[in-house]
Amino acid sequence: MKALLIVAHGSRRTASNDEVRELTARIRELAGARFAQVDCAFLELAEPSIPDGIECCVQNGADEVVVLPYFLSAGRHVISDIPGEVEGKQQQYPDVNIHIVPYLGSAESIPELMLQLAS
């Protein structure tokens, strides 16, 4: 069973966290059979935490958890903090394949998407 965990920074502003939850719901709908579970987690300031989000996937039977950073730049959060949070759960569940895929800002189609927004 394959799960997708969208990881966002988290905000003091509830509406920003809710934007992430709504995005997650749209991804869940689109995913169809590609992922049995699609949820979100937050690095800080909102719940669930990344370890709790991974825990939920594992408890639901995931043997693969794809962690997708909803971030625009490869800053400290993407390079160190998120891998650090994931590492602890990977050690706890060595039989579950937990891996981090490239962050949103690295997607090759972002420039074209930006031009569409600008037109």
Please identify which residue in 60, 61, 74, 88 interacts with its own copies, judged by CB under 8 A: 74
CA distance 48 to 29: 21
Binding test (CB under 8 A) with its own copies, winner from 14, 59, 91, 109: 109
- Report the residue number, 58 or 65, with the smaller CB distance to its own copies: 65
CB atoms within 10 A of CB 61: 10
Candidate ranges 17-25, 43-51, 53-61, 84-92; the one touching its own copies (CB under 8 A): 17-25
Q: Which has the closest alpha carbon to 43: 5, 96, 94, 91?
A: 5
Tokens of 107: 């997607």
Give the binding range for its own copies (CB under 8 A) out of 21-29, 45-53, 54-62, 86-94: 21-29
Residue among 26, 84, 82, 90 nearest 58 (CA): 90
Stretch that binds its own copies, among 26-34, 42-50, 51-59, 89-97 (CB under 8 A): 26-34
27-47 b/e (C-beta count within 10 Å ≥ 16 → b): bbeeeeeebebbbbbbbeebe
Binding site for its own copies (CB under 8 A): 4, 6, 8, 11, 13, 15-16, 19-20, 23, 26-27, 30-31, 34-35, 66, 68, 70-76, 101-102, 104-105, 107, 109-119
